[in-house]
Amino acid sequence: MNRLVEISTVDDQVVVDYSGQQICVSCVLPESFPDLTFDASGRCSYCRDETERVTNSAATLDEAVAAARSATEGLASDYDCILLYSGGKDSSLALVELVRKRRMRVLAVTLDNGFLAAATAHNMRTMLDAVGADHIVVRPQKQLMGGIYRSALTKDFGTETIKYSTAACGSCIGVVFAVGMRMAQAFTVPLLAGGWTPGQMTTSAFVPTEFLHRVVDSNLDPVEFTDEVLAAGLRNLRAASGKFPIGLINPLYASDYREDEIVDTLAGFGWRPPKGTDSCSTNCRLNGLLIVEHLKRHGYHPYAYELSHHVRLGALSREQALEKLRHLRLTPASVGAVAVELGIPSPLWPR
């Protein structure tokens, strides 16, 4: 059995101690990470496996955009793509890349999950006005999103889901993809676009629609509602198969991803890092609670894989990654407040 982490509070900040575990000497994956092994030098199997590397290719993006434009030839379509826009740093950079560099007509679609940081709405307006893009906000009823999150916190998800994110984040992504696909069908838009850090979800700049449906199914099928109204609401969010979209692109896979440089670039447009979020999120207040819950249940940080990939790429130093994993930039009070909103006990409270 893997040894779990120790979570404590120092100067009213949540701190994670991994000293009971072996950590890869090259990246930051701990021994509790699924299917991990170490060689004699202490280097982990993910650092030794070249197939884990992300493919950064502008050509892949070019081919996907060309295929999408060919698919809509002769059709009335006001947009080239729908950007799944969270207002965080990565999706904001994706917005800049799509509109400013690729000259695409973008419709930004945001899922308001009820836990967006106060500064997120301002950041979204600032960025959208700066580059020139239309925007739609979809806000499912609070009971529906809360029920999805609470269900995800109690269900057992497969290893391939919890390796790369919390189960609740996976369910949220499932809703985001479902909403995006419905919007693409409604507006005759051939492509979805996203902005997540390379290595977080896929190894390619383009994924087909079949992948999106698999993510939706694997993350939302386990969700159960006894209330038929909420169950019907979840069914209504999910899109049936249609001609569009043909898939999803992420322009960040064709960029030289460096976190510090991204924040500096966005600052030029007026974007500011929000307060009230954790060390790995720049838009969602719920994320911090989910990280703590994941750490207590599984013994590793849900962003460990993503941060380790960034260390391998040189986008982040090992010390910077360890700092993010150890100091969550959360207070017990902030975690407790979000838990109350969600209607669950705080994972930091004694059980």
- Give the chain's end-to-end CA distance (angstroms, integer): 21
Q: Check: CB of residue 109 under 8 Å from CB of residue 83.
A: yes
* pLDDT the model gives residue 73: 85
Coil, helix or strand at residue 250: coil
At 313, is the pLDDT very low, low, confident or very high (cuts 50, 70, 90)?
confident
Q: 9: how many CB neighbours lie within 10 A of its CB? A: 12
Chain centroid to Cα 220, Å, comes to 16
The reported pTM is 0.92
Q: Record the tokens describing residue 187, joined without a space.
A: 């507006």
pLDDT digits (tens, 9 = 90+) for 160-196: 778 888 999 999 999 999 999 999 999 999 999 999 8
> Rounded CA gap, 28 and 182, in Å?
38
Does residue 3 surpass a pLDDT of 60?
no
- Judged against a pLDDT cut of 70, whether residue 54 lies above it is answered with no
In this prediction, residue 2 carries a pLDDT of 43
CATH assignment, 58-254: 3.40.50.620
User: With 80 as the cut, is the pLDDT of residue 199 above it?
Assistant: no
Q: Any idea what the Cα angle at residue 18 is, between residues 17 and 24, rounded to 5°?
A: 150
| Domain extents in the chain | 6-52+285-342, 58-254
Q: What are the φ/ψ torsions at residue 92 (nearest 5 degrees)?
A: -70, -40
In this prediction, what percent of the chain has a pLDDT beyond 90? Answer: 72
Q: Is the Cβ–Cβ distance between 262 and 93 less than 8 Å?
A: yes
DSSP letter for 222, please: T
Q: Which pLDDT score, from 0 to 100, does residue 51 have?
A: 55
What are the backbone dihedrals phi and psi of residue 228, each rounded to the nearest 5 degrees, phi first? Answer: -65, -30
